[in-house]
Each structure stands twice: as structure tokens, then as C-alpha cells.
């Protein structure tokens, strides 16, 4: 009988879930589900300086939004818990002690400064730094003495150097690492916490993980982890599959730095930038803003987002929550991420989660880098917006509106469902929101697009047309779509102009831009009094500036 497939996703809760991490989680989930196996969520929170409970909850929220559930892990439990590494220290300590007792690991006492000096010396000697294993390993008594003296005490694994370390990778094939390429590395830090390389080996063994599917940046960790696996007597290691890098349109790795870099470059083009006001928006000091502009430091992501939103600078989506806020559907993201480095082999592209699960095969993952094509992602989203069940789309729309604190969040389900129906073909939930917000904000809060004002309202005859529209709307008792359409088309016929010459001035007057919901629906949903009031306000504001 074949061994049951067990995969895991093990994020560090140090920030938002990056799209690359989401892809890793998805591939592990798909492989487990395809094989009727077990998918584990494990939180690798051994970096006590960088971990935050907020980040862990955000990762969980993002996975649930994508539709990725887990059989074992936080908020679910399971037979192999706890699932936070910070709660498993006693487990790791036992295995560290085993290696120390068997002479397969040893204590080290160097300070950070001393290690820096060794690295500097290695650079001066034109060689790479490799920690030199002592001829005799320090004793436990010497380690206790070092602690008493206030020196940092770590534990290093003595990597076997008698033969090559061979990694057999499902994606990349057989890779050999010669003796000396992988040197002794720390498995327990001076604060008593295990390092990533050690904790993941122990956890993968105890949780019976059969497949480790992760990014290729972890490939260099694998020979050392396999050596640990052997040294601990764990038997055959899991099967490894290291996925290729996802690159942006520019060819570089899709990086979290793209968001602050985009804002920094935009700020450099703003000659009249009010630095004090912008720093206040971002919750930082003017000095911190200047440091950011100089490329010396980077504020946290909420500050970056707040400043960008204040200035109207669009930041590229990098984290899953960014795509949520930009109005992408979870169905879109799962479909798109699954095809980054993998394909079903039959030409299909638009696929539902059930189809992806049935077709997924880790052996079909490509070695080549995958392109994060944002145009393709947008096209996928338009198609999924069209295909998804309308009740499900309504739920997605409501969640999006709450997330971005849209005025539209106050609308009832019937209104939102109508917006979805009449705006069929929208590219994203954000587009639906932007097209509809004018219905739920005060007239004096409307932001007029300067291009729309110039193109439409400042054209000769625009104010006169608005006056005629107002006159006929005021005389219309029943504000039904049919009556409104008849009235506006009748006005166009009377003036011997196309409907656009009537509809566009009205559209800009009502919502401030040339893009909105269909005009007849817009007027009917806004209501008679609000429509007349907005026409009056527009004429008062722009009438004197037209010729």
C-alpha cells in the first residue's frame, strides 16, 4: 500500500503573506488533496524579534480567503501539535541533546563581533567564510562557564564531510554537494530557540511529512537538512520539490520591495511635496520620510500604503491582502497562482479549484522561472467575475467593501446585487466599487476628474444641456429606468444629437467622471432629489468657467 501523502506549509509570521508564499501553500495543498492526503499548517515562529501575533492571524486569514484549509494546525489542532514552533522548545531540546551526546554537534561561544572579524578576515584572504570546526568539542561544563561569563552559547551541527551530500529533487533532478560546500551550521541559538534548519527537520519527521514542496531559495538548505535527518536516525528523508522563482515584468524577482520603491520613485517627481503633511499621514517623522526618500530606510507597509493612498499613487500588489484590496477574486488568485510553473498539459487555463485539484501533478512543475503577468491576471479576473455564482460574487463584493472601508459597504444586499447585475463585464470588485461609490457619498464629497471636466463640462453647450436635462427630470414623476431612458433619448432626438451628448454631461455631474454604472440605472438609483441637487451643484461650480 502506498504511503499516505503528507505536505505542510510553514510560514514565518513576520509580515503579510507574500504571493510567492501563497503559491507554495497552494502547491502543497493541491498535492495533498490530489492524493487524498493530509495538509498541515505549521507556524515557524522561532524568530522572536520579528514575529507578531497580528502577522500570524493575517496569514491565516489570507489562506482562508484563498480557500486553502488545513487538516492539522492552528485553530484546528491535530495529533502532532502544538503547531507553533515556539511552543515546541522542549521537543527540540531533546534532539539537540541527542546530537551533543553522540558527538554530532558541539557548543560554540563566539560573540557576534568575533564572528564578524572572522568573516572580514575571510574576505581579505579572498575566500568565503567557513566556520572552522574545533579539534576537540567544548564540554558541557565549558558551555556553562561561558554562559556564566555572559558569552553567547550556540550549538552547531557537525556536517559529515566524508562524502558528497546528494539531493534528489522531483523538480530539479539529482544535485550533488561536494565535501566542504556545506559547512557546520548553528542548530540552536544563544536564546535557546532552534534555528529554522533544525526545527523543520524535527517537525517534518514527527509530523510524518512525505513531501517538502517549497521555493528554490531553500535548495541550499536541503543537503544540511538531509544530513541532520540521517544523523538523528530518522530514516529516509521526505521527497523534495523546489519550485522556480516567480519574476516580474522587469525580469527581477517578485519582491516586497517593489511597493516602497514605487512610492519612492513617485515622490521624487513631486516638486511641491508637502513633506510634513505626508509624514503625518504615514505616522512617521519628517526625518524618517527624508531617510526613506534617500533610500536609507523603509517605513513599515501600513505607512507606505497610507502615504500612497493619500497621494493617489498605485502600488503594485505583492501580498495576498493587496490583491484582496484591489478587488481580485480568490478563485482568480488560486487559478493564476497554480499556473505559475505548472500546467495541466491539455491547454486549459481558466480552471476552478476542483479542476486544479484533479489535474495537479508535482512532476509537471517546471524548472524555469515563471512570469507574473499582471495583464493575464486581470484577464483571468474578468473571466472569473463573469463565471462565478452571483450569490458567491455578492459575498466576495461585501467582504471587499468592508476591507477597503467603502461607503458602499452600507448598501443592502439588493442594491449590491443590482450593481453586480448591471455592471456585468467589470474587471474587478474595485471597479464595481469605484463605479458605484457616487451613490453613497454626499454631493460635496464628489471628486471631479479634471480630464472629465475639461473634456465634457467645459465644452460649449454643456451647461445648457444640463439645464435642459434638469428641467425634464424635474417634470418626471416616476423615476423608473424605462421613463428615464425615454426622457433622455427623447431629449437627444429633440436636440438632434447622439445620446452621449446628453448622457456624458449628466454622468460627470452625478459622479465626477466619465465612467460609471449605466446612466439610466445611475439616475434611478440616485433618486430624483439627489440627481437634481447634483446637477445644480455642478452648474454652480463649473458654469461660470464655460464659454
Active-site amino acid positions: 256
Q: 29: which residues sit within 8 A by CB, 6+ positions away?
A: 7, 9, 39, 68, 69, 70
Angle at 217 between CA 316 and CA 203, to 5 degrees: 110
Q: Give pairs for 460-469: CB < 8 Å, separation 24+.
A: 460/546, 460/547, 462/505, 462/546, 463/539, 463/542, 463/543, 463/546, 465/495, 465/501, 465/502, 465/505, 466/505, 466/506, 466/509, 466/535, 466/538, 466/539, 467/539, 468/495, 469/502, 469/505, 469/506, 469/535
DSSP calls for 16-52 = S-BHHHHHHHHHHHHHHHHTT-EEEE-B----TTT--
Alpha-carbon span 304 to 313, nearest angstrom = 10
112 touches 118 (CB < 8 A)? no
Q: Where are the beta strands (DSSP E) in 128-221?
A: 154-157, 165-169, 173-177, 185-188, 211-215
Q: Write down the residue that cell numbers 471587499 correspond to.
A: 400
Alpha-carbon span 509 to 30, nearest angstrom = 50
Alpha-carbon span 186 to 502, nearest angstrom = 73
Q: 175: which residues sit within 8 A by CB, 6+ positions away?
A: 166, 167, 169, 219
Amino acid at each position: 500500500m502506498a504511503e499516505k501523502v503528507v505536505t505542510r506549509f510553514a510560514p514565518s509570521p513576520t509580515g503579510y503573506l507574500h504571493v510567492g508564499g501563497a503559491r507554495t501553500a497552494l502547491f502543497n495543498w493541491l498535492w495533498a488533496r490530489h492524493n487524498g492526503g493530509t495538509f498541515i499548517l505549521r507556524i515557524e515562529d522561532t524568530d522572536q524579534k520579528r514575529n507578531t501575533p497580528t502577522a500570524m492571524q493575517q496569514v491565516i486569514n489570507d489562506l482562508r480567503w484563498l480557500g486553502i484549509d488545513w487538516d492539522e494546525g492552528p485553530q484546528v489542532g491535530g495529533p502532532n501539535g502544538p503547531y507553533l514552533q515556539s511552543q515546541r522548545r522542549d521537543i527540540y531540546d531533546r534532539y539537540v541533546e541527542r546530537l551533543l551526546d553522540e558527538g554530532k554537534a558541539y557548543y560554540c561561544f563566539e560573540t557576534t563581533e568575533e564572528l564578524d572579524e572572522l568573516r572580514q578576515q575571510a574576505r581579505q584572504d579572498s575566500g568565503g567564510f567557513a566556520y572552522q570546526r574545533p579539534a576537540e568539542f567544548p564540554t558541557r561544563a565549558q558551555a556553562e562557564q561561558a554562559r556564566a561569563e555572559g558569552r553567547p552559547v550556540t550549538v552547531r551541527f557537525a556536517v559529515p564531510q566524508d562524502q558528497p551530500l546528494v539531493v534528489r529533487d522531483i523538480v530539479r533532478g539529482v544535485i550533488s554537494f561536494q565535501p566542504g560546500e556545506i559547512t557546520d551550521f548553528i542548530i540552536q541559538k544563544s536564546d535557546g530557540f532552534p534555528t529554522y534548519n533544525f526545527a523543520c527537520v524535527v517537525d517534518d519527521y514527527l509530523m510524518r511529512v512525505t513531501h517538502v514542496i517549497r521555493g528554490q531559495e531553500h535548495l541550499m538548505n536541503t543537503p544540511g537538512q538531509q544530513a541532520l535527518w540521517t544523523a538523528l536516525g530518522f530514516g529516509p528523508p521526505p521527497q523534495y520539490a523546489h519550485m522556480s522563482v516567480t519574476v516580474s515584468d522587469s525580469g527581477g524577482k517578485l519582491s516586497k520591495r517593489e511597493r516602497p520603491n514605487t512610492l519612492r520613485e513617485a515622490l521624487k517627481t513631486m516638486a511641491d511635496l508637502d513633506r510634513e503633511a505626508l509624514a503625518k499621514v504615514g505616522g512617521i517623522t519628517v526625518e524618517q520620510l527624508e531617510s526613506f526618500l534617500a533610500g536609507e530606510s523603509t517605513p513599515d507597509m501600513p505607512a507606505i500604503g497610507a502615504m500612497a493612498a493619500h497621494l493617489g499613487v498605485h502600488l503594485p500588489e505583492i501580498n495576498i491582502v493587496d490583491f484582496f484590496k484591489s478587488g481580485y477574486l480568490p478563485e482568480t488568485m488560486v487559478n493564476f497562482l497554480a499556473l505559475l510553473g505548472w500546467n495541466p498539459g491539455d491547454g486549459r487555463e481558466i480552471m476552478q479549484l476542483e479542476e486544479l485539484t484533479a489535474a495537479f501533478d508535482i512532476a509537471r512543475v517546471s524548472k524555469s522561472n515563471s512570469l507574473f503577468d499582471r495583464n493575464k491576471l486581470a484577464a483571468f479576473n474578468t473571466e472569473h467575475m463573469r463565471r462565478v455564482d452571483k450569490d458567491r460574487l455578492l459575498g466576495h463584493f461585501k467582504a471587499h467593501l468592508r476591507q477597503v472601508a467603502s461607503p458602499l459597504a452600507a448598501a443592502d444586499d439588493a442594491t449590491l446585487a443590482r450593481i453586480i447585475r448591471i455592471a456585468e463585464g467589470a474587471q474587478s470588485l474595485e471597479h464595481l466599487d469605484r463605479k458605484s461609490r457616487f451613490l453613497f457619498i454626499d454631493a460635496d464629497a464628489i471628486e471631479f476628474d479634471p480630464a472629465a471636466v475639461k473634456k465634457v463640462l467645459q465644452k460649449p453647450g454643456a451647461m445648457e444641456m444640463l439645464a435642459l436635462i434638469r428641467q425634464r427630470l424635474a417634470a418626471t414623476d416616476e423615476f423608473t429606468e424605462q421613463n428615464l431612458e425615454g426622457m433622455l433619448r427623447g431629449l437627444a432626438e429633440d436636440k438632434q444629437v447622439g445620446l452621449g451628448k446628453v448622457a456624458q454631461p449628466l454622468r460627470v455631474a452625478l459622479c465626477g467622471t466619465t465612467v460609471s454604472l449605466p446612466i439610466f440605472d445611475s439616475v434611478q438609483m440616485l433618486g430624483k432629489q439627489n440627481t437634481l441637487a447634483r446637477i445644480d451643484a455642478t452648474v454652480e461650480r463649473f458654469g461660470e468657467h464655460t464659454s
